[in-house]
Structure 1
Amino acid sequence: MIPSEHFSKAVDELAPRGRPIMLHASLRSFRAPIAGGVHVLLDALLANNRTVLVPAFTEPQFGVSPPIGMRPARNGIDYSELPAVPTPPEGTPYTVDCGLINPGLGVLPAAVISRTSVVRGTHPLNSFAAIGPLAEKLISAQSPSDVYGPIRELAAREGVIVLIGVGLNRMTALHLAEQQAGRRLFLRWARDPDRRVTMVEVGSCSEGFPRLEPILHPNVRTVVVGGSRWQAFPARQTLAAAAAAIKADQGITRCDDDECLLCRDSIAGGPQPT
């Protein structure tokens, strides 16, 4: 069992008091149970007036097929592989109180959205959720046409990005760095509150992001808790360094799959204006 004081000590080493934290975590990385469960870890992160921000994506639940007239070129999709006639949208549109989350995000984001104090964004596919004194400030920066507004706000408030047992391929903030380097974000489709299909911003392939590690390494701070390696990156400096590296070498984020359409189109600049 990993006692709660180990978490408190690690958080105090990596994240200043009163600052927001963007979190990506794998609880399996601890290689031992957490005494008291995931909410003990979350409470340790929230201590000392901190705010916790996590991705709360719902693309599997609320994404829809693209209408014929809403298919921009160079958008990371081979439209020829889609049905000639899109499946009509079914079900209800996304709402901030839907209680759903992509299961692949892990246990900790699910714990965040289960809290009554959570504030969640309105983006139907890539919402963020936050708890803490700055939650409203962070989340209000997001909209369907500004998916990474909360990360930009995190950086402006000198927040920290913490990776718990995961690598740079899980750092969502690097998609904002891609945008800041001049790439246009990909577009996907969802229902708006009036049930009309609309296009919204989403990220690209992230499997090549570990190639940025030598550039981001000078700013990282590391601790070990149980079997889990924690890395803390200052958001503002990390975004600036990553954006500069991508702007200088667009191919630096390419993943190992030579056929990756997401990487090809992102490196080429993203969706072409319609």
Structure 2
Amino acid sequence: MILGEHLATAISCLHLTNRSVMLHTSLRSFGTVIDGGADAILDALLSRGCTVMTPAFTEPQFGVSAPVDMRPARNGVDHTAPPVSDTVPEVDPYRVDCGLINPALGLLPAVLVGRDDAVRGRHPLNSFAAIGPESAEIIDVQSPDDVYGPIRELADRDGVILLIGVGHDCMTALHLAEQRSGRRMFQRWARDVDGAVRMVEVGSCSAGFPKLEPVLGPLAQSVMVGASRWRAFPARQAIAVAAATIAAQQNITHCPDAGCLLCRHAIAGGPLDS
């Protein structure tokens, strides 16, 4: 069993005390039961002054199909493929207190979002949520037109990206590196608070991000907790190194699927102006 003292030791070894941490976690990676589960990980970080941020995406719940007049080219979507509907489904606008989350994100983000003192971003499809002393300042910079503002803010505060038992394909901050390499973010569709459909920024395919391991790996501090490998990356440096690498070699992020439209359009620079 993984005890609180094991988590505390890892946090100390990785020098995370009093820092803002962007967390990506696989609870299964520990290979055994964690005493207290996901809450124990959050509490261990919070007790040492950390602010903890996770993705809290809701694209399945609040995404709508593209209106005919909101379909930019090179946007990772094939609008010619059937079926193409000109009818936008009736979906309620996103609210920060909706309590919903994409189940694919795992248990820990859902636990964080469910806490009374969690702060959640205003992006209807790709919100982030945080808890801890700097949570409001980090999350409040997010908007539908600035999806990765919280990552930028966390990096500016000397924050850390912590991968717990997962790989670079889960490292959401690498989408900000894509943006800084010169790519435009993809556009998707959601209802605004007034019910009108609008376009919002989202990320691309991340299945090719493990190819960045040779340049990102040396930046990480690592420790084992049970069978789970924890890797802590200085956010500002990791994003800068990844952005420079992508800018110099755009194809490096292409996923194993040679026909991936998301990768092809991202590498070409992203959406074109309508």
TM class by shorter-chain length?
A: over 0.9
Q: How many residues are treated as equivalent by the alignment?
A: 274
After superposition, the C-alpha distances for 1:9-54 in whole angstroms (9 at most, x for unaligned) are: 1112214321100000000001101112221111012122110000
**Aligned amino acid, residue 191 of structure 1:** R
1:73, 1:38 → 2: CA distance?
Answer: 41
After superposition, the C-alpha distances for 1:217-259 in whole angstroms (9 at most, x for unaligned) are: 2211110001101111000000010000001010110111000
**Aligned amino acid, residue 140 of structure 2:** S
2:248, 2:224 → 1: CA distance?
Answer: 33
After superposition, the C-alpha distances for 1:42-77 in whole angstroms (9 at most, x for unaligned) are: 101212211000000000000000000100000001
Q: Which SS does the other structure have where 1:231 is aligned?
A: strand
Q: Contact 1:125–1:190 at 8 Å: present in 2 too?
A: yes
**Aligned amino acid, residue 177 of structure 1:** A
Q: Which SS does the other structure have where 1:79 is aligned?
A: coil
2:91, 2:218 → 1: CA distance?
Answer: 47
Partner of 1:77 in structure 2? 77
Q: Contact 1:15–1:21 at 8 Å: present in 2 too?
A: no
Consecutive unaligned residues in structure 1, runs of 5 or more: none
Moved more, 12-21 or 222-231: 12-21
1:132, 1:13 → 2: CA distance?
Answer: 20
**Aligned amino acid, residue 42 of structure 1:** L
TM superposition shift of 1:260 = 0.3
Q: Which SS does the other structure have where 1:24 is aligned?
A: strand
After superposition, the C-alpha distances for 1:117-144 in whole angstroms (9 at most, x for unaligned) are: 0000000000000000000010011000
Q: Which SS does the other structure have where 2:223 is aligned?
A: strand
Q: Contact 2:77–2:261 at 8 Å: present in 1 too?
A: yes
After the TM superposition, which residues 89-128 of structure 1 pair with which residues of structure 2 at under 5 Å, given as runs? 89-128=89-128
Partner of 1:175 in structure 2? 175
2:197 is equivalent to residue 197 of structure 1: yes
Q: Contact 2:161–2:232 at 8 Å: present in 1 too?
A: yes
Partner of 1:42 in structure 2? 42
Consecutive unaligned residues in structure 2, runs of 5 or more: none
Q: Check 1:183–1:136 CA distance in 2 against 1; reply closer, same or farther (3 A cut).
A: same
2:15, 2:57 → 1: CA distance?
Answer: 24
**Aligned amino acid, residue 71 of structure 1:** R
Moved more, 86-95 or 232-241: 86-95
2:8, 2:81 → 1: CA distance?
Answer: 49
After superposition, the C-alpha distances for 1:132-161 in whole angstroms (9 at most, x for unaligned) are: 000001001100000000000011000000
Partner of 2:142 in structure 1? 142
TM-score (norm 1): 0.98
After superposition, the C-alpha distances for 1:169-206 in whole angstroms (9 at most, x for unaligned) are: 00000000000000000000000000100000000000
TM-score (norm 2): 0.98
TM superposition shift of 1:82 = 4.7
Partner of 1:214 in structure 2? 214
2:26 is equivalent to residue 26 of structure 1: yes
Partner of 1:245 in structure 2? 245
Q: Check 1:142–1:219 CA distance in 2 against 1; reply closer, same or farther (3 A cut).
A: same
